[in-house]
């Protein structure tokens, strides 16, 4: 049994400790906002927060997440109030197909914690997620909007 703290709730999971966190979240807990993309930690679709830091869940063994605070896209909002990054995504109509967007939103939310007013270079360095639709210009505009006080 492994205990995970996900979105502020404790969960006991009977899962192999080497199982990627992504699959524990999706298959055991039904939190499907965290997406499977490449399975190799390259695309960023599976990004979650682990103790506030953006991490790719597809390669992270569930045992290494035990005892840490895990936040998924489902836990980013505060009740009915969207996180400022989520709201900026809506305001700037970022989403096209939307598959990669939860991962990008999670990376940006973590970025804004450490760099509240990121430059374009900061954004380029932090947001390495792959979006096949090519919504990168809308992403950049939404990040700058979310960074404003």
pLDDT in tens, 5-31: 999 999 999 999 999 999 999 999 999
Q: Which residues pair with 47 in a beta bridge?
A: 56
- pLDDT: which is higher, 95 or 76: 76
Domains identified in the chain and CATH numbers: 2-75 (3.10.20.30), 84-147 (1.10.150.120)
Structure tokens given for 120: 């374009």
Q: What is the pTM of this model?
A: 0.92
Contacts of 116 (CB under 8 A, 6+ apart): 147
Residue from 44, 18, 46, 20 nearest 32 by CA: 46
Give the separation between CA 146 and CA 89, rounded to whole angstroms: 9
CA 107 to each of CA 15, 18, 48, 63: distance values in angstroms, whole numbers, following the listed order: 27, 24, 8, 22
Half-sphere exposure of 103 (CA within 13 A, CB side): 26
Residue 30 CA, distance from chain mean position: 16
Whether the predicted pLDDT of 60 surpasses 90: yes
Q: Is the per-residue pLDDT at 149 higher than 80?
A: no
What is the C-alpha separation between 118 and 61, in angstroms, rounded?
31
Residues 85-127: tens digit of each pLDDT: 999 999 999 988 888 999 999 999 999 999 999 999 999 999 9
């Amino acid at each position: 049994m492994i205990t995970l703290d996900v979105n502020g709730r404790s969960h006991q999971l009977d899962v192999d400790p080497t199982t990627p966190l992504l699959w524990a979240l999706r298959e055991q807990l039904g939190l499907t906002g965290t997406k499977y993309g490449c399975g190799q930690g390259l695309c960023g679709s599976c990004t979650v927060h682990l103790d506030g830091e953006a991490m790719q869940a597809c390669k992270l063994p569930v045992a290494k997440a035990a005892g840490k605070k895990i936040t998924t896209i489902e836990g980013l909002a505060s009740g009915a109030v969207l996180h400022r990054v989520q709201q900026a995504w809506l305001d700037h109509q970022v989403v096209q197909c939307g598959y990669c967007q939860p991962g990008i939103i999670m990376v940006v939310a973590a970025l804004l914690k450490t760099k509240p007013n990121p430059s374009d270079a900061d954004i380029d360095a932090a947001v390495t997620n792959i979006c096949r639709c090519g919504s990168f210009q809308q992403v950049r505009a939404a990040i700058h909007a979310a960074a404003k006080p």
